């Protein structure tokens, strides 16, 4: 099995109000003038906004940051920001980058702030206002570090890939790293699982695998109140094709739900984040059952690892081949 690697970006909190610039005295060559970005108020919606600034002499491009993380590089003095979260405050930073780096150095960042319209849609700043974070008994599969801090006292087991006892494996060896940029599902500028699917193999499969037996056996606690547990996922993308999302219990060879375009558990392919919640009862009706006796006596897999595929995403039976896989905020929790 080949481990798929993903970029982990740390959220850098910004506390600017209005517009300004930072200080950097490290450059030995003259700096370009600092851009002064402004937000066109007429363009602000629940999920987008346009930021403009005056062109800087000798600038070849402009680096654009959102809440401290670089999201775009543009050559003209404006940028359209999309996939934002309703009712959320954002800080935009822009700096000018020269073509002639021998004669000039990049400018300081000029900054401005704005707030999207609405009261919070599929997420809220820092992830602390969304309904999916108001539950209990969280079993994490994929979640950013900042949002984790808001629910860490309610986490029963953490299966997020850490390359120690939790992994995201590429079963078909046909994935390549995608670039995750901009806000994730909860409006945090951090990474999410974004992998490009190769078509040469003719199939794909990725498994969230854990060897943490202490955490694995905690899944059995779900049995006592399975009707109130849900698998939560956020998906985005623009490609066609469907996915099969599977849960495992140490006995059954994966209980699937099909993530498609038009079905009950699907999402529109419009490049925006979409929330999917599947009742655990759906999987239990298909034969899934987390039994403590099984989870505490797991046999080695084909590679000799003793553990469990917590969840997998594979090609669906219809034979379609999506070109990418972009997911975030994956966990089982109790409402």
The string of DSSP codes covering 122-179 is S--GGG-S-GGGSSEEEEEEE--HHHHHHHGGGEEEE----SSSEEEEESSS-EEE--
pLDDT tens for the 335 residues of the chain, in order = 334 443 333 322 333 334 444 444 444 789 999 999 999 888 888 888 899 999 999 999 999 999 888 889 999 999 988 888 888 888 899 999 999 989 999 999 999 988 887 654 443 333 345 889 999 999 999 999 988 998 999 999 999 999 999 999 999 999 998 888 778 888 887 788 999 999 888 899 999 999 999 999 999 999 999 999 999 999 999 999 999 999 999 999 999 999 998 889 999 999 889 999 999 999 999 999 999 999 999 988 777 889 999 999 999 999 889 999 999 999 999 99
- As given in the structure block, the two tokens for residue 103 are 């004669």
> Of the candidates 313, 141, 330, 306, which has an alpha carbon nearest to the alpha carbon of residue 214?
306
Per-state percent for the chain, helix, strand, coil, to nearest 5: 15, 35, 50
**Cβ atoms 192, 183 nearer than 8 A:** no
Give residue 28's pLDDT: 76
Bridge pairing between strands 136-142 and 155-158: parallel
H-helix or E-strand spanning residue 312: strand 308-315
The domains of the chain, with CATH numbers, are 20-115 (2.60.40.10), 124-334 (2.60.120)
Give residue 277's pLDDT: 96
* pTM tops 0.95, yes or no: no
Give residue 214's pLDDT: 96
Instruction: Using the structure block, give the residue that is written with the tokens 């994490």.
Output: 140
pLDDT tens for 86-142 read 888 888 999 999 999 899 999 999 999 888 876 544 433 333 458 899 999 999 999
Bridge pairing between strands 59-66 and 69-74: antiparallel
């Amino acid at each position: 099995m080949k481990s798929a690697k993903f970029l982990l970006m740390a959220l850098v909190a910004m506390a600017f109000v209005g517009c300004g610039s930072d200080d950097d005295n490290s450059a030995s060559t003259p700096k370009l003038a600092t851009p002064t970005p402004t937000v066109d108020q007429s363009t602000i919606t629940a999920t987008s906004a346009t930021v403009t600034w005056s062109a800087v002499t000798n600038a070849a491009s402009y680096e654009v940051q959102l809440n401290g993380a670089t999201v775009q590089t543009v050559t003209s003095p404006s940028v359209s920001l999309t996939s934002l979260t309703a009712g959320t405050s954002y800080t935009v930073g822009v700096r000018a980058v020269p073509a002639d780096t021998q004669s000039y150095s990049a400018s300081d960042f000029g900054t401005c702030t704005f707030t999207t319209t609405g009261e919070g849609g599929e997420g809220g700043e820092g992830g602390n206002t969304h309904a999916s974070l108001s539950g209990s008994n969280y079993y994490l599969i994929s979640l950013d570090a900042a949002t984790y801090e808001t629910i860490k006292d309610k986490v029963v087991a953490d299966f997020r890939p850490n390359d120690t006892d939790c992994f995201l494996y590429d079963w078909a060896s046909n994935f390549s790293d995608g670039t995750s940029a901009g806000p994730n599902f909860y409006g945090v500028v951090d990474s999410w699982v974004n992998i490009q699917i190769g078509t040469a193999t003719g199939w794909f499969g990725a498994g969230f695998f854990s060897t943490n037996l202490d955490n694995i056996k905690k899944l059995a606690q779900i049995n006592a109140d399975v009707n109130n547990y849900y698998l939560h996922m956020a998906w985005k993308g623009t490609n066609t094709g469907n996915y099969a999302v599977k849960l495992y219990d140490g006995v059954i060879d994966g209980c699937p739900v099909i993530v498609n375009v038009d079905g009950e558990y699907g999402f529109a392919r419009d490049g925006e984040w979409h929330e999917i919640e599947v009742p655990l009862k759906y999987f239990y009706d298909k034969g899934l059952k987390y039994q403590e006796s099984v989870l505490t006596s797991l046999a080695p897999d084909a590679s000799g690892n003793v553990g469990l595929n917590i969840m997998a995403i594979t090609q669906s039976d219809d034979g379609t081949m999506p070109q990418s896989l972009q997911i975030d905020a994956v966990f089982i929790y109790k409402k």
